[in-house]
Amino acid sequence: MELAIISGKGGTGKSSISAAFATLEKNVLLADCDVDAANLHIIFNPTHEEEEVYIAGQTAIIDYTICTNCGICKDYCRFDAIHFVNNRIEISETTCDGCQLCSRVCPCEAITMVDNDKSRMYSGTFRNGKMVYGRLAPGEENSGKLVNMVRAKVKAIAKSNGLNNIIIDGPPGIGCAAISSITGVNNVLVVTEPTLSGLHDLERTLELVTKFNLKAWVLINKFDLNPDMSLQIEKRCANLGIDIAGKLPFEPVFVDAMVNCKSVLEWAPESAISKELKLIWSRINAPQA
């Protein structure tokens, strides 16, 4: 089974919950698809058996020994990345989208494209199975392509190692990276919290999951911080026909576990929260009617 854990809103507890699930059964395959802020390697300290370069598009560079400062490139750029700065034409590296049009229109061929090659994908072994994670270099477009690369690697490792339990820790938001994290999985677990922001983000996230015809579950984390809001979320899900996978109380033991580089199941296996997480896991994994 392939389970993706996402949340519209950040900081709802995706990674801590992913870590817990990754230590529930033996021989799991864990994918950290929050490539913009990958964190699970902190808890699991996996080996780096393989490192692969991810090319996150290109950036246009002007060769000033050739450039005549004509400004034609500026007229064609639709990303507002080219400007005259102190009477010299300049391309903003952070704004350039890498479309290459400037390089094509330049009459003196003064513009070349260079690969953005700072991002990486790592795969290796951790104490409970195999792990793949991406690290997007700061400032790169979080396009979901690195997530796709992680997912492809996961597929290959699953096949060659006969691993069936795949857990995907997804990114916050509902953009391209989130879409890439959930496409084709069996179950999507949306972790939310009982806040107005949480509810608002949950609605947008469920809209996305439904759009892709995937089985969605909702987990309300820290539900006791606002039981009324939690109830409101439950009702909303009932109206939408979305199953609640479970509710977890606010529990500092989650943070203690993280500080000690353990999942909550490893740190406090007998705690109420660990037991509830096991229940949630079996609910999601039960054969569906």
Interacting residue ranges for another protein, rule: CB under 8 A = 8-12, 15, 36-37, 39, 42-43, 57-58, 76, 78-80, 94-95, 97-101, 104-105, 136, 138-144, 171-176, 178-179, 193-198, 200-201, 204, 207-208, 211, 222, 225-226, 229, 250, 252, 255, 258-259, 261
Minimum distance from residue 200 beta carbon to another protein (Å): 6
Instruction: Give DSSP secondary structure letters for the chain.
Output: -EEEEEESSTTSSHHHHHHHHHTTSSSEEEEE--TTS--HHHHH----SEEEEE---EEEEE-TTT-----HHHHH-SSS-EEEETTEEEE-TTT-----HHHHH-TT--EEEEE---EEEEEEEETTEEEEEEEPPTTS---SHHHHHHHHHHHHHHHHHT--EEEEEEEESSSHHHHHHHTT-SEEEEEE-SSHHHHHHHHHHHHHHHHTT-EEEEEETTGGG-HHHHHHHHHHHHHHTPEEEEE----THHHHHHHTT--HHHH-TTSHHHHHHHHHHHHHHSPP-
Cβ closest to another protein, residue 249 vs residue 269 = 249
Cβ closest to another protein, residue 85 vs residue 286 = 85
Cβ closest to another protein, residue 113 vs residue 163 = 113
Cβ closest to another protein, residue 20 vs residue 229 = 229
The upper half-sphere exposure of residue 133, i.e. CA atoms within 13 Å in the direction of its Cβ, equals: 27
Cβ closest to another protein, residue 58 vs residue 128 = 58
Cβ closest to another protein, residue 19 vs residue 24 = 19
Cβ closest to another protein, residue 221 vs residue 274 = 221
Could you count the other beta carbons within 10 Å of the beta carbon of residue 23?
Answer: 24
Minimum distance from residue 254 beta carbon to another protein (Å): 9
Cβ closest to another protein, residue 8 vs residue 246 = 8
As a residue count, the chain comes to 289
Minimum distance from residue 225 beta carbon to another protein (Å): 5
CA distance 258 to 251: 12
CA distance 34 to 253: 23
